[in-house]
Structure 1
Amino acid sequence: MVAVALCVVFLFKSILLGLGTLQNPGAGLWPFVIAIVTIVLAVVQAILPDIPHAGAEAPADAERSGAGQKPRAEALLLGGMVLAYALLLPYVGYLLLTVALIICAAIFVAQARWWRAVITALVSTGLVYLVFSSFLGIPLPGWPPFLLS
């Protein structure tokens, strides 16, 4: 229900930005639509009962084994990594920090093999940098400022 509460705030803020019309959309139209979709999905997720997947542990077994804590720990770990990424981005630069974030997320959260994490990080970071810098003309802080001076 935290998502619903946050999205209600986004709804009001997007209305203040101005929704415009479908022919002439305002700055708040897409945040408004995304907030509505997120509210609907959060309410559906809260209402629907948890349906165990085939081969999943029974709820009593999962509580005893601590299996319910792992997704929460992974979410907290990933949230901490994204927060550190946001704080360090102006100082470290997009390229190095994004590669490090993807490698850490792949290894520690998704339990990927290190070589696959490195390849994924290098290719995806390079492609995103290429698309934004070259094709869209949106500059990203590529390298750390201390390396450029």
Structure 2
Amino acid sequence: MSQPDPTASGVADAGLQEEVERLQAEMEEARPPHAGPISQAAAALVALVVGVLAAIGSYALGLGRLTQPGPGLWPFAISVVIVVLSLVLLVTGRKLEDTERFSKSSLLTAVALVTLVALAALLPVIGFEIPSLLLTFVWLRWLGKESWRSSIVISIGAVAAFYVIFVLLLQIPLPRLI
């Protein structure tokens, strides 16, 4: 049985290391500039406010007991996690440099947020089918840059799958047209 050539392994490791360094440099060039500690603190404060408001709203739904959880128990638990992590980020985040300045790519996040809010607003009015179909389509086509055909097929398939799983199989009372 032959032994592996140590020089071939060393050459491969060096080539791999060079490729890793090249990719890291390329990613650093494409990255937007850092926003700084004030932006990091502002982001933490926004998340903190959202977490506190969500905790208040979920508490109003009723927490129930551990043996009989109420509708607000899991949202409350997640809200508490958001509040705790926001506080940690607020305290430690000023030293971090991973916050990016707002740029054109930040608009994609804003579009995603607006469409998600639109879904939540339309859900009780016209059911989940049409808003979910539109949300999935917009996210795939414009945010994900998928083709028209893929966006249409995946959107219809996803909403149909959710309908079968949640409405027919699990019998979850979702607001719906059908």
Question: What's the TM-score, normalizing by structure 2?
Answer: 0.57
Query: Is the CA contact (8 Å cut-off) linking 2:58 and 2:76 kept in structure 1?
Result: yes
Query: Is the CA contact (8 Å cut-off) linking 1:94 and 1:141 kept in structure 2?
Result: yes
Q: Offset at 1:77?
A: 1.3
| Equivalent residue runs for 1:64-143 within 5 Å | 68-89=102-123, 93-137=127-171, 138-142=173-177
Query: Is the CA contact (8 Å cut-off) linking 2:124 and 2:175 kept in structure 1?
Result: no
Q: Offset at 1:4?
A: 0.8
Q: Deviations over 1:102-145 (max 9, x none)?
A: 111112122222222222211110010111221122254135xx
- Superposed CA RMSD in Å reads 3.0
Q: Distance in 1 between matches of 2:170 and 2:58?
A: 25
Aligned to 2:78: 34
Moved more, 34-43 or 125-134: 34-43
Q: Distance in 1 between matches of 2:80 and 2:139?
A: 29
Secondary structure of the equivalent of 1:23? coil
The structure number with the bigger radius of gyration is 2
Q: Distance in 2 between matches of 1:27 and 1:93?
A: 20
Report runs of 4+ in structure 1 exceeding 6 Å deviation.
Answer: none
Q: Which consecutive residues of structure 2, in runs of 5 or more, have no partner in the other structure?
A: 1-44
Closer, same or farther: CA 96–14 of 1 in aligned 2, 3 Å: closer
Q: Distance in 2 between matches of 1:4 and 1:75?
A: 19
Moved more, 132-141 or 84-93: 84-93
Aligned to 1:55: none
Question: What's the TM-score, normalizing by structure 1?
Answer: 0.66
Q: Which consecutive residues of structure 1, in runs of 5 or more, have no partner in the other structure?
A: 53-58, 144-149
Q: Deviations over 1:47-89 (max 9, x none)?
A: 342349xxxxxx8xxx6xxxx4134211221222233334444
Q: Which structure has the higher relative contact order (CA within 8 Å, separation 6+)?
A: 2
Secondary structure of the equivalent of 2:177? coil
Q: Distance in 2 between matches of 1:119 and 1:99?
A: 10
